[in-house]
Amino acid sequence: MIRTVVCEKEGCSGNTFFIETDNNNLKLTCKNCGSQYEVDISYYDFIMLSNCSKCNNDTFKIFRDLDKEGVYVKCAECGSTPEKVYIDSDGIQVSYDIKLLSDIKEVMYLIEQRVCNLEMRLQDLERGQSTIEESLAYVNKYLIDKV
Ligand SMILES: [Zn+2]
Ligand SMILES: [Zn+2]
Q: Provide the whole-model pTM.
A: 0.63
In angstroms, what is the span from residue 72 Cα to ligand 2's centroid? 14
Please name the helix (run of DSSP H) or strand (run of DSSP E) that holds residue 98, with its range, or none: helix 96-146
Q: How far apart are CA 41 and CA 53, in angstroms?
A: 19
Among 102, 65, 101, 61, which residue's Cα sits nearest to residue 81?
61
Domain ranges across the chain: 2-87, 95-147
Q: Give 54-81 pLDDT, tens digit per residue.
A: 999 999 999 998 887 788 999 999 999 9
Ligand nearest to the CA of 61: 2
Mean pLDDT of the chain, nearest integer:
88
Ion ligand 2 nearby residues (CB, 5 A)? 52, 54-55, 57, 75, 77-78, 80
Q: In this model, does residue 137 exceed pLDDT 90?
A: no
Q: Give 12-34 pLDDT, tens digit per residue.
A: 999 999 999 988 899 999 999 99
Q: Average pLDDT in the 75-96 region? A: 85
In angstroms, what is the span from residue 42 Cα to ligand 1's centroid? 25
Q: How far apart are CA 141 and CA 68, in angstroms?
A: 74
